[in-house]
Structure 1
């Protein structure tokens, strides 16, 4: 077929497992017979090359034969090797946050709640080197909960009322089958000593002088207080309560019917037994986030190793790339950020990001959501960029959707959320329940509450809409976040929670707030088994 365009040449090289330098692509496109030139350039490249270089093309056009490079991976002299490799040539794998080994960080996920972390770098031999059919016709990808272009909020008080009413109705519906719910006004009219249960949004929670806890719940009819006695054994549950989340309380009314003595507390939660989805073939998705192009600390070498690896036969099953926000570093996000910028213009940052995204194989299905560093409103849900920036990032027909969004990938339901609310969860809850070293545990709390940003009025800004797009109405198979720049994963009631780290080394600002990022990691998810391997490219 004719190869007159750069895009066709990139796609043809990708189908053969090669990346290419931009100048090399331009030389091929300008050849009298682009198809023949491409064949000759591939023939001129060393057997272990991952990238077609300008030297390979010139050698082919000049009929000078193969070109030798100093590096063992076919990269131009002086360039970094394609990726850290094991003895068998495979990229280094790591078990992720919490497992001490030579290639990964050490933090705190136990062996029992790791999700498919493989014990040795060669444990995926069944798929390595085998032929893989990257047939786009076999792919199935659908996006749900995308509010881009559907924002209705004006910021009026009535808009907030509508949002919280929708939150209450949908989350209380998940609890009504578990408790004999009565509205607040009905409970107030019940005789003292009666058994009662109420579902409401947490309006207040505080400790009493006696060491008990007073929780005020609000529904659409009013508010009602519940007292949790310290000897009830519910302290562990009370520790997890956040303002504005939906909660059910069961107990007994006081003699004067003025307060409900709580016997049990219930979150909407995820069912303990459920059927997970799965692809009917061996296919994989790479889960990444927080690329931060434009920052002086963007790890460009690691990114190139990652994209080079994506062109290898070993990575042929990686047909999907899901990016959970912060494509660029942004401008004015934190104090003195301009001193740490490599690119100071926001549009130029996105243009540069688009160039890096072109290094990904052209036939990869890409889904992107924004984050708090991106050029969209900070209030969540965040729409998927304006038309000008979408046009800049129009690479490989990427799907650019809102934050959060649900993505169905060949039968696997993935909830993508950038993760700003994780800061709030980690700040409010005890360290053993949520911490930056174990970000997946904070994600467990969001799953338990069935809402990605339950607390209103703190660090997480919420935009009022006709419906609350932040409710986790349908339980996902995979929950993918970023934001905190820490790698961690585990399973909560069969939901795989993954925080995918970042592609930015430590900035001065991060040093000031004691953040030590996990940069250059790519969790690779098997969509047929929901097992996961984390690849390290730094």
Structure 2
């Protein structure tokens, strides 16, 4: 086994159902005969162990129990051949725009390109597919662990009492109004009620109601901690088109002029909390990449196991040596009882067996990658958001790869880049409520723009998105992320909004009968690969 290819050790461990600490892999790779050292370590591993620790490898090496190659026939047959060009996936790269094209279909890919550099060296395989060439073998990954903020796991205190809902909405109002106070000269509604008519005034409030008048104007009721005040948006004003973008319970600011009797505010301008146009994202100080995926749905009859294996094989290849992070935005498994007649579409009917199968597929991923996972609405966690991470029982099932597990949503910082990970259930509501040019399933990133504009991942309460009352509103986007990563809608889309890269990463499940019934055509088996040093994006096709 060549010393420069620790990924062979990881691959052999995965094929035998084991995982290993990064340090354990390093120690084995540095042994005089890594293949025999690995065999010795595995032979002495307890039967119930799923993970090879660095301490166990040290003990094995210190005891000098590495078998003699002339007398031992159990040394693992570890492949040393590198992946060939013929197995490389099709690839299409585009810098983010507001209207990104879909990745090219099989046989029609382009080699990766960058905004600032020429196309990478490429060649053409026998089928005419452009593939990457060059690069050293994988095995040098050593990613520092991700930092995680906003994780509800272990912090949930809500019991569903009325007062707790009041508290979480007050927290939402206070935190988002602090973003807006610098833009308007805000006065509380109680002060406006006693003001003389004709004065200039401004309100920061939560949208309580929106309705049209008999004349076609818009009446927007805003609520703050003091009361509710009516605001009139005239239909002939340019800001009237913004009313179509309002959702119940989001926090906005308006300013204008009080009516003669002081009972209504005629609105001249409307402000969302929004991402500042001056926002400048953080980037890594070295070339390193992250794979952003979601909606694996193991346990479904439509789970694309072969495509997943092609993705995992590629992660072991030289072309993926810079991919050190894997961020999974929910729905590891298909779940049970999520939608009508789901049991007819399951290949695995037991929820725990679904997670066991997912864990086996996760073992195909290189063991020296840093993995972060959050749950989704198909996972075995509470449906109300924010969703805590998985229970200890499920974590034990998925422990073989030592993945980091966080709540939904969470901000994951990798190499200095802040990635807001949210599964995306609220996207259904945003798409249903807003005009098609502002939010649609075909361009899911535009719906994500609306959440960034509102600085909240699930602003509307009372619809399909369930809310759990907590000590604070974990769904507020208080700090602007550099990358916003979602899933859920099974559609691929990406673009930049005020310099924040928004990515919806598609799925790993072919169209189900239920999806056919609701006219969802999924984008499956794509893997967006993010350059953390430039925030350029490559979308790879593993169909």
Q: Give me the TM-score of the superposition, normalised by structure 2.
A: 0.82
Once the two structures are superposed, what CA deviation does each residue of 1:60-83 show, in whole Å capped at 9, x if it has no partner?
959999999xxx987xxxxxxx9x
Q: Partner residue of 2:91?
A: 93
SS of equivalent to 1:395: helix
| C-alpha contact (below 8 Å) 1:115/1:489 kept by paired residues | no
Structure 2: gaps spanning 5 or more residues: 20-31, 40-71, 123-129
Task: Report the counterpart of residue 255 of structure 2 in structure 1.
Answer: 250
Which residue of the other structure, out of 210, 221, 227, is the alignment partner of 1:222? Answer: 227
Show the counterpart of 1:56.
none
Please say if residues 117 and 532 of structure 1, whose CA atoms lie closer than 8 Å, have aligned partners that are also in contact: no
In the superposition, the TM-score normalised over structure 1's length comes to 0.83
Q: Select which of 7, 17, 27 maps to 1:14.
A: 7
Listed as ranges, the matches of 1:89-488 within 5 Å are 90-95=88-93, 98-99=100-101, 102-103=104-105, 129-130=135-136, 134-136=140-142, 139-488=144-493
Following TM superposition, by how much is the alpha carbon of 1:172 offset from its aligned partner in structure 2, in angstroms?
0.3
Measured in 1, the distance between the counterparts of 2:79 and 2:228 equals: 77
Distance 1:338 1:273 in 2: 49
Q: Residue 117 and residue 156 in structure 1: after superposition, are their counterparts in 2 closer, same or farther (change >3 A)? A: farther
Are the structure 2 counterparts of residues 117 and 205 from structure 1 closer, same or farther at C-alpha, using a change threshold of 3 Å? farther
Preserved CA contact (<8 Å) 2:527 2:539? yes
- SS at 2:400 equivalent: coil
Q: Name the residue aligned to 1:521.
A: 526
Give the Cα–Cα distance (whole angstroms) in 2 for the partners of residues 383 and 64 of structure 1. 40
Change (3 A) 1:22 1:132: closer
Gaps of 5+ in 1: 4-10, 27-32, 41-59, 75-81, 107-113
Tell whether the 8 Å contact from 1:17 to 1:313 is kept in structure 2 after alignment: no
Question: How far, CA to CA, are the matches of 1:23 and 1:140 in structure 2?
Answer: 26
Residue 504 in structure 1 maps to residue 509 in structure 2: yes
Distance (Å, rounded) in 2 between the aligned partners of 1:196 and 1:463: 35
3-state SS of the aligned residue for 1:403? coil
Stretch deviating more after TM superposition (391-400 or 493-502): 391-400
Q: Which residue of 2 aligns with 1:8?
A: none
How far residue 22 of structure 1 moved from its aligned partner, in angstroms, is: 2.7
- Deviation of the 1:235 alpha carbon: 2.5
Q: Helix, strand or coil: the match of 1:361?
A: coil
Deviation (angstroms), 1:125: 10
Decide whether the 8 Å contact of 2:100 with 2:495 is kept in 1: no
Q: Aligned Cα RMSD in Å? A: 3.3
Alignment length, in residue pairs? 483
Q: Is the 8 A contact 1:379 1:461 kept in 2?
A: yes
Q: What CA distance in whole angstroms lies between the structure 2 residues aligned with 1:409 and 1:64?
A: 35
Say if 1:116 and 1:532, in contact at 8 Å, map to a contact too. Answer: no
